[in-house]
A = this chain, B = another copy of it.
Amino acid sequence: MAQTFLMKAKLAILGATGAVGQEFLTILDERGIQPGRLRLLASPRSAGSTCTYRGRELPVEEVGPNSFSGVDVALFSAGAAASRKWAPVAIDAGARVVDNSSAFRMDDDVPLVIPEINAAAIGGAPLIANPNCSTIIMNVAVWPLHRRHPVQRIVVSTYQAASGAGRRAMLELENQTRDVLDGKPVKPAVFPVRCAFNLFSHNTPIDEQGYNAEEAKMVHETRKIFGRPDMAITATCIRVPVLRAHSEAINLTFGEPVTAEEAREILSQAPGLRLMDDREGNRFPTPIDATGQDACLIGRIRQDASQPDGRGIDLFVCGDQLRKGAALNAVQIAEALMTE
């Protein structure tokens, strides 16, 4: 239904040649958006090429002051600096912007939206921020439980795919892995250290408290999305040699007892989630299962034995970083805009 409304919109994509930009095209194609209703934009560095979309070669134009005239919704995924520069231009031209960067996420007047959780926060805002990928994937799983039984504390450890660092990072993982298997020397370029058959702490700057920027995003964005500025959250964000789906081990503390059975029942019916929790067959979510899927996969749902009063639940979630972690969530926001 929302898709029908989106089909009437004139759309622009800023950052069309990137990993998320390309995923936008896949998702818009699935939604039946016609090439004539789509404008592809990029920074000077990436402009000038073309993208094949629904059998038509679409030019990737350099973004400029006139790029957004007549555009209803602009999907931004070209980094925070480009968002800061071009969002005001797009809004002045009458477009509404769904921004995938971190530029505006924590601004008080910018809604930060996961449609399954807080679509209502959009209101008439001209600019809507798409949360961090790890934040989205965690909260699609945590929110349905939190709604029924308020969560008091989250301890999360992530297993993050290369795609979160862009297309070049995915290529580096593949090429470097081949080099390691061939006994060739490793020369990290996109990542600061070897990624092949290795893993490392997310290489964003460390703050005074010792948290890296990715971990801080998971804390502060979750508080904003949930409307719980004091929510207790600690995160450890780790990059793993996986291409495009993030995994997260989540430990929850509730204010009251919650059984694993009730948690499983709630999560099995929650939007944006698919249960994969086969204890007998030992089949639980993996990033490969989640790759290319709209739903995040949820499993390993169990009572946390370290909280004997029954107030703890452990979970394991996998979600496609480029889809629900980025492009899909943004398109869902755009769909919500078009149905307002």
Contact = CB atoms under 8 A, between A and B. Distances in A.
Interface of A: 153-155, 157, 159, 173-174, 177-178, 181, 192-194, 197-201, 203, 205-206, 209-212, 219, 232-234, 236, 238, 240-243, 247, 249, 251, 260, 279-280, 282-284, 286-288, 299-308, 312, 314, 316
A305 B234 contact: yes
Contact of A314 (B236, B286, B300): B236
A308 B233 CA distance: 11
B306 A153 contact: yes
Contacts of A198: 242, 286-288
Given A198-B286, A211-B305, 19 more contacts: A157-B157, A178-B178, A194-B288, A197-B243, A197-B288, A198-B288, A199-B240, A200-B284, A201-B284, A209-B302, A209-B305, A210-B279, A210-B301, A212-B282, A232-B305, A232-B306, A234-B251, A234-B304, A240-B241
Nearest to A231: B306
Given A201-B299, A302-B211, A238 B247 contact: yes
Contacts of A307: 232, 234
Nearest to A194: B288
A127 to B, nearest CB: 29
Contacts of A314: 210, 234, 236
11 contacts: A154-B306, A155-B155, A159-B238, A174-B181, A177-B181, A194-B286, A194-B288, A206-B282, A211-B302, A232-B305, A232-B307
A159 B210 contact: no
Contacts of A199: 159, 240, 242, 247, 286-287
Contact of A251 (B155, B241, B302): B155
A68 B147 CA distance: 63
Instruction: Pick the most buried of A177, A178, A299: most chain B CB atoms within 10 A of its CB.
Output: A177
